Amino acid sequence: MSDPLAFSYAAQPMDVTFGAGSISGLRAEVEALGLTRVIVLSTPGQAGLAGEIAAQLGPLVGAIFTKATMHVPIEIVDEAASVVAKVGADGCVAVGGGSTIGLGKALSLRHRIPTVAVPTTYAGSEMTPVWGITENGVKTTGRDRVVLPVKVIYDPELSLALPLGISATSGMNAIAHAVEALWAPDRSPLISLMAEEGVRAIATALPQLKHGADLAGRSNLLYGAWLCGSCLGATTMSLHHKLCHILGGTFNLPHADTHTIVLPYVLEYNAPAAPQAVAALQRALGTDDPVAGLITLRQDWDVPSSLKQLGLTQNDLETAVDAAIASPYANPREVTAEGLRTLLARAWSGALG
């Protein structure tokens, strides 16, 4: 007799410190890992914070590299890797969002050195063994536990200055991880609980930011991002992430904005084949219509609501359809070229508002 609750679950070997002011313990954490010469990574926009982190780490820093870029272009990876080799770095400290942590993962993959992640957005990449590198307009992704950060420090004080629009799209990006986990073929009861709670935390905290960037709201957003990222790290990505990787890597669209726009349309497409996911999202979002709930959550902020606003053209849509059809992947509903054309055309025009 088969067991309807049968499942497999592999816990990720993560070491997390969470709390306001926790960044003050970074040097002790790096020393405890036995690292003696690290490279501090950031985007150009967070070079100042990278400098502050490097000052705290003192003699443990071999170099500071502030050229991390969205979608992790291979040229940036090559440049950072040459710095790693030049200074003999035995680890990375990645300070920032998905772009910076993604670069740390690429260096871990290439040089087999560990990454310590200090997230300042809600992207969730720090909780997954998923890496991505873009070369010649194609974003290649993979899974390897060697890229999973060995330590994650969540300090909500570091996200207090994150602009509200970026906070909103980053939070929606995190929600997308949980939504896909709810219909993943390898989901488990534990992951489903984490996904629902992660969506609830972010959906509750985001509107609170309109009344001020308070520490409690930022803490709840980081907490939700941690849960949602953990769900992504433990399950298989489906249609939503596939499309966003194609759109981002091929057309260089902003990562979080693309997730924010595309997610309601993928949920609309998959909902008839994913009733359990829909039920969980109804509870988490507090609405009978989770697609409308996502739109409402997005409409609270001055962020793009269509792929057209990101610069994508109608001619680009067929390229995206062809790329998605050419690479099969798990999804609760059958993916057809016609179905994708309709989905992307609606996301391009912003049909849902």
Assess whether 69 and 124 both reside in one domain.
yes
281-335 pLDDT, tens per residue? 999 999 999 999 999 999 888 899 999 999 999 999 999 999 999 988 899 999 9
Last residue of a domain, one of 125, 159, 193: 159
Assess whether 154 and 178 both reside in one domain.
no
Residue 97 DSSP label: S
333 sits in the region (left: phi over 0; alpha: psi -120 to 50; else beta) called beta
132-165 pLDDT, tens per residue? 999 998 888 898 999 999 999 999 999 998 999 9
**If pLDDT is split at 50, 70 and 90, which confidence band does 28 have?**
very high
Q: Name the domain count of the chain.
A: 2
Tell me if 10 is assigned to some domain: no
Assess whether 81 and 205 both reside in one domain.
no
Tell me if 6 is assigned to some domain: no
Assess whether 152 and 238 both reside in one domain.
no
196-254 pLDDT, tens per residue? 999 999 999 999 888 766 899 999 999 999 999 999 889 998 999 999 999 998 999 99
Q: State what percent of residues in the chain have pLDDT above 70.
A: 98
Strands (E), 3-48: 16-18, 38-41
d(C-alpha 177, C-alpha 181), whole Å: 6
Strands 61-65 and 38-41: parallel
pTM of the shown model: 0.90
CB 84 within 8 A of CB 76: no
- Kindly write down the DSSP assignment for every residue of 191-248, as one continuous string: HHHHHHHHHHHHHHHHHHGGG---HHHHHHHHHHHHHHHHHHHHS---HHHHHHHHHH
Tell me if 241 is assigned to some domain: yes
Q: State what percent of residues in the chain have pLDDT above 90.
A: 83
**pLDDT(1) > 70:** no
pLDDT of amino acid 161: 87
**In the chain, what is the greatest distance between 2 CA atoms, to the nearest angstrom?**
62
Tell me the residue range of the domain where 264 lies: 164-349
- Residue 343: which of 253, 275, 278, 263 has the closest Cα? 263
Sequence-distant (6+) residues with CB within 8 A of 85 are: 111
pLDDT of amino acid 12: 73
